[in-house]
Structure formats: structure tokens, C-alpha cells
Amino acid sequence: MAGARPLRIVVERLPDAPAVPLPAKATSGSAGFDLASAEDVVLHRGSVSLVRTGWKMRAPAGTFLEVRPRSGLGSRGVLMVNAPGTIDRDYAGEVKVPLTYLFDGEYSIHVGDRIAQVRLVADRPARFELGVVPAIASRSGGFGSTGR
């Protein structure tokens, strides 16, 4: 919505991460705010590293934050293990990003390297209730039911 006042996301920089930039959008058309690494890490094939961001953050009421992978890292074999990751409104710890490396050898991440992106998501009230879910014949075959 053009001209809408941006929502305020409260962030706290951890004292041992002074060099980490504030989460920011790379371009005006970016969907997410880039998160950078607060530490130097070497990723090895098949192992998972929880990479520090140096930030605690709290989304405004009625929203939550979602951490998503960066496509540029994925094309280099670096994947976010639980993508997307949810930062619940009642979580008060440091945001960390679980990364793994797919290829042989290792991949180095340095302080300030962009490792993920965070998105603000609306959190609508909802509840589950018992009932009957009508079948839709063309979409009842399970995962991949729309073709290959």
C-alpha cells in the first residue's frame, strides 16, 4: 500500500556483534531484509552450523518474523536447513540461521556476509475445528499430484 507507514520491528544488537549491519532490504523491490553473519564460520558437507546474526528482534503485534534462505547461497551449495524458520513473538533469544553445505570441501562465511533474509508476516487469528473436507478429484493424489 503506497504511502503506508512502515511497521516498527524492534531489534537489539548483541554487545559482542558490533560490526553486523542492521537488517536491510538490498533494493526497493526486495521482499526480505538481509541478515548478515556475526561470526566467521566454515561450513562442511553434511554438518549443520547455527550461524549467529548478532540480533534479537521482536515483530509488532499481529505479525511474526520468518527467516528465509538467500537464493544466491543456494546456487553455491549453501542451504538453510529449516526453511523457512519462524521467529515467534515470544522468542527473546538471538536469531541464528542453521546452514549446511552440499558440496565436497568447505565453504567459508565471514562476519558481515549476507546469510539469510527475514520477512514480516501477518499473523491472523485462526482455529482448527472438526468437519468434513470435500475431496477435489484432480488434487487428491498426494504430493506431486499435479504432474512431474
Residue 48 domain flag? yes
Residue 39 domain flag? yes
Q: What's the pLDDT tens digit per position in 115-136?
A: 999 999 999 999 999 999 888 7
Residue 130 domain flag? no
CATH of residue 23: 2.70.40.10
What percent of the chain is predicted at pLDDT more than 90? Answer: 78
Residue 94 domain flag? yes
Residue 55 domain flag? yes
Please determine, for residue 5, whether its predicted confidence score (pLDDT) is greater than 90.
no
Residue 85 domain flag? yes
Task: Give me the domain span that covers residue 70.
Answer: 10-125
pTM exceeding 0.95: no
Residues ≥6 apart with Cβ < 8 Å to 125: none
Residue 139 domain flag? no
Q: Total domain count for the chain?
A: 1
Q: What's the pLDDT tens digit per position in 33-68?
A: 999 999 999 999 999 999 999 999 999 999 999 999
Residue 75 domain flag? yes
Say what the alpha-carbon torsion angle 55, 61, 67, 71 is, to the nearest 10 degrees: -120
Beta strands in the chain (DSSP E): 10-13, 33-36, 41-44, 48-52, 55-58, 63-68, 78-80, 85-87, 96-101, 106-109, 114-122
Rounded alpha-carbon distances, angstroms, from residue 126 to 59, 65, 89, 121, 138: 19, 18, 16, 15, 27
Place 87 in a pLDDT band, splitting at 50, 70 and 90.
Answer: very high
